[in-house]
Chain A
Amino acid sequence: MSWFIARRLLSLAVTLLLATVVIFAVLEIVPGDPARLMLGINATDDAVATLREQLGLNQPVLMRYLSWIAGMFQGDLGHSFTYGSPVAELIGERIVVSLPLALMALAISTAIAIPVGIYAASRRGSATDTAIMAVTQFGIAVPNFWFALLLVYFFAIFLRWVPAGGFAGWDEGIASGFRSLLLPAVALALPQAAILSRVARSAIIEVLGEDFIRTARAKGLTRRAALWRHALRNALIPVVTIMGLQFAFLLAGTIIIENVFYLPGLGRLVYQAITQHDLPVVQGTVLFLVGFVVVTNFLVDITYAWIDPRLRRRGR
């Protein structure tokens, strides 16, 4: 197991290092001078030159990359051109919106998908199973931002149960915070729930065909008992894997939903930073999100290998 973890850790480090190179390189070729963008079109050349010096933009590319990496190890991701605050601080302020939103979406998606998947698998081939599969097929096809608009129309405009957008902050109370995140979380959860329920159904059907289930049935267990006592635990392994992957992408996937609901989260921060050419914020936030994806995948891999020893052997 320790060999497996070491290999995965090395792979994680290499991926992260390459990601820093890609992020830095892509933003290097962005057209336009950040100093001129910050000062506006009426700024004098002297003012632009002074600001470039202050921002360290006159240093060679390699030096800037290395100082960015060195700063990162000390928790310094640079300063935002537009906000004037440290990027790490901005990420800290925004993650308290995006992380609960992603967690809520994952909880909603799981709460719907697992029972639906189990129910459909246990009635494979029936009219109910066909209907459930048709609904999930529809769910996968729905763009989450369109579903968000419908939710806003019905629950915020028509029924006036929840706010149509914005986030007052957790200082206003936990209940108020959750109310603001409820519709965005439901909108994010729908396609994920559709995918997850299909994965759960498929995994359970696969396990139900295994020899050990036939043995359990031959020993006198009812189909239902075999499903609950033996099949479910085994089928949950791929489901948990997909959930891990979905969680990482839910956090990054908030970029559109946060714009629909005007939520001050990471997605909106990075979108605004991109449109305002605020490079330190773009670099820091994208790296943070990529790091989150890579670390989540690493943890999923480790958990998976811990549960299923065959994978450890395969990883050698």
Chain B
Amino acid sequence: MTDPVMPHMEVGLAPETSLASRLLASRSFATGAIITAVIVAMALVSFGWTPYDVTKIVIADRLKSPSLSHWFGTDHFGRDIFSMIMVGARNSIAVALVAVGIGLAAGVPLGAWAAARRGLVDDALMRFNDLVFAFPSILSAVMITAIFGPGAVNAIIAIGIFNIPVFARVTRGAALSLWPREYVLAARVSGKGAARITVEHILPNIANLLIVQATIQFSLGILAEAGLSYLGLGAQPPMPSWGRMLFEAQTMMAIGPHMAIFPGLAIIVTVLGLNLMGDGLRDALDPRLRGKG
């Protein structure tokens, strides 16, 4: 779990009216959006239907290779891997999504506050950021989940905590670039307070930037959740999770490599979809960055 923050962007450059057309023209965004939509649809469908019951153990069907009846084969308990991946998608998406929500809910107000107040508040936020970034995120996530008990909720908290300084930093940086603008100065002259200016003028102008960062953190959250589940610290049985499926596959690699291949591909495809969407959004919001990687 690294903590990449998108490159600096001058906010508010692109006119809102052309954003939709630029997004539609972006192959990255379209591919990413389709992949993400398929994964989300799969997770939603799993609430009502899966090809097989994921909790049902059928020893006669154990370690079956992929076939027409079991698309991705079966595991060492005879459970259908495709069905488990469908249900596992729910867990991965929910954990990563709520963790992004925590980051947004706490990080954006903090960053906006620091940019509006500057001085001591800003310094304190920067020191807080330094402190959180000094803790390798995977290490701290393991610490939090192991100490407070394994499970999806603690995994969400562990991942969410690390999203807070990321969103605070992005918000602060973008807000600082907007405060000297004429329309903000005009708002100040008209008597509006810092909080009102932030809500009415700053946040709407940095919303696009935050959406892009949210897609990046979402994909990192999927990887982090998989890592924690692999260590047994994420969602607990009988709820299938992609990371734990990989852990269970480890001892079966010699006789059933398909047990590891498909959950891994599910993680890759999901992360890839989100990253492509993020790239497309970033390019559409700031055409100067297009093709720079």
Interface of A toward B, CB cutoff 8 Å: 11, 14-15, 18-19, 22, 26-27, 30-31, 124-125, 133, 137-138, 140-143, 145-146, 149-150, 152-153, 157, 195, 198-199, 201-202, 205-206, 246, 248-249, 252-253, 255-256, 259-260, 270-271, 274-275, 282, 286, 289-290, 293-294, 297
- B131 and A138 contacting across the interface, CB-CB below 8 Å: no
Q: Contact: A150 with B136, CB < 8 Å?
A: no
- Total A-B pairs in contact (CB under 8 Å)? 130
Given A19-B134, A26-B147, A140-B275, A149-B127 contact (CB < 8 Å): no
| A250–chain B nearest beta-carbon distance, Å | 9
A157-B253, A246-B2 given; 19 more Cβ-contact pairs under 8 Å: A18-B127, A19-B131, A22-B131, A31-B148, A141-B275, A142-B268, A145-B230, A146-B260, A150-B261, A157-B254, A199-B293, A205-B291, A249-B2, A255-B142, A256-B231, A274-B143, A274-B147, A290-B134, A293-B135
CA gap between A201 and B289 in the complex, in Å: 13
Determine the distance from Cα of A255 to Cα of B230 in the docked complex, in whole angstroms: 11
Contact stretch, chosen from B48-56, B58-66, B72-80, B219-227: B219-227
Q: Are B227 and A145 in contact (CB under 8 A)?
A: yes
Minimum CB distance partner of B253 in chain A? A153
Q: Are A149 and B136 in contact (CB under 8 A)?
A: no
Known interface pairs A205-B292, A271-B142; A150-B134 also in contact (CB < 8 Å): no
Are A146 and B146 in contact, CB atoms less than 8 angstroms apart? no
Complex CA–CA separation, A133 to B272 (angstroms): 12
B10 interface contact, C-beta 8 A: no
Q: Are B230 and A256 in contact, CB atoms less than 8 angstroms apart?
A: yes
Q: Is the CB of A138 within 8 A of B272?
A: yes
Judged by a CB distance under 8 angstroms, whether B249 is at the interface is: yes
- Contact between chains at B146 and A275 (CB < 8 Å): yes
Contact A141 B143 (CB under 8 A): no
With A198-B293, A252-B139, A271-B142: A141-B260 Cβ-Cβ less than 8 Å: no
Contacts A146-B246, A195-B4 hold; do A293 and B136 have CB atoms under 8 A apart?
Answer: yes
Chain B residue numbers with a CB within 8 Å of A143 are 223, 226-227, 230, 246, 264, 267-268
Query: Can you list 29 contacts pairing A with B, beta carbon distance less than 8 Å?
Result: A14-B127, A15-B127, A15-B130, A15-B131, A19-B131, A19-B135, A31-B148, A141-B219, A141-B269, A143-B223, A143-B227, A143-B267, A149-B260, A149-B264, A150-B260, A153-B253, A199-B293, A202-B293, A205-B292, A246-B2, A249-B136, A252-B136, A256-B138, A256-B231, A271-B142, A274-B146, A282-B143, A286-B143, A293-B136
Contact partners of B219 in chain A: CB under 8 A:
141
Contact of A274 among B142, B269, B276 (CB under 8 A): B142
A145–B246 CA distance with the chains assembled, in angstroms: 9
Q: Cβ of A271 and Cβ of B260 under 8 Å apart?
A: no
B138 close to A255 (CB less than 8 A):
yes
Chain A residue at minimal CB-CB distance from B261 = A150
Q: Is the CB of A141 within 8 A of B131?
A: no
Shortest Cβ-Cβ A-B pairs, 3 listed? A252-B136, A146-B264, A141-B271
* CB-based contact A138/B143 at 8 Å: no
Instruction: Report yes or no: A252 in contact with B276, Cβ–Cβ below 8 A.
Output: no
**Cβ contacts under 8 Å, B135 to chain A:** 19, 22, 286, 290, 293
Closest to A16 in B: B134
Query: How far is A30 from B292 in the complex, measured between Cα atoms in Å?
Result: 46
| Interface contact A253-B268, CB-CB below 8 Å | no
Tell me the bound Cα distance from A133 to B231 in angstroms: 31
Contact indicator per residue, chain B 191-231, by CB within 8 Å of chain A (1) or not (0): 00000000000000000000000000001000100110011
Q: How many residues of B contact A (CB 8 A)?
A: 45
- Chain B: minimal CB distance from A100 (Å): 18
Is A18 a contact of B131 with CB atoms below 8 Å?
Answer: yes
**Does B250 belong to the interface (CB within 8 Å)?**
yes
Complex: A19 Cα to B144 Cα, angstroms: 15
A216 CB, nearest partner CB in chain B, Å: 21
Q: Is the CB of A270 within 8 A of B139?
A: yes
Q: How far is the CA of A297 from the CA of B253 in the complex (A)?
A: 39
A149 x B291 contact (CB < 8 A): no
Inter-chain CA distance A156–B258, complex, in Å, is 17
Complexed CA–CA distance, A282 and B146 (Å): 11
Across-interface contacts of A297 in B (CB, < 8 A): 134
* B152 CB → nearest A CB, Å: 18
Smallest beta-carbon distance B119→chain A, Å: 17
Tell me, rounded to whole Å, the shortest Cβ–Cβ distance linking B286 to chain A.
14
B129-164: CB near A (< 8 Å → 1, else 0) gives 011001110110011101110000000000000000
Give bound CA distance, A157 to B260, whole Å.
14
Cα separation A157 to B263 with both chains bound (whole Å): 20
Q: Closest approach, in angstroms, between the C-beta of A1 and any C-beta of chain B? A: 21
A96 smallest CB distance to B (angstroms) = 19
Interface-centre pick from A30, A252, A260 (highest chain B CB count, 10 A): A252
Contact B253 A293 (CB under 8 A): no
Query: Given the complex of chains A and B, what is the CA–CA distance between A128 and B127 in angstroms?
Result: 43
A22 CB contacts on chain B under 8 angstroms: 131, 135
Give the chain B neighbours of A152 by CB distance below 8 A. 253
The A-contacting residues of B in range 65-110, CB under 8 angstroms, are none
Interface assignment of B12: CB less than 8 Å from any CB of chain A: no
Complex-state Cα separation, A271 to B142, whole angstroms: 8
Find out whether the CB atom of A153 lies under 8 angstroms from the CB atom of B260. yes
| B173 close to chain A: CB less than 8 A | no
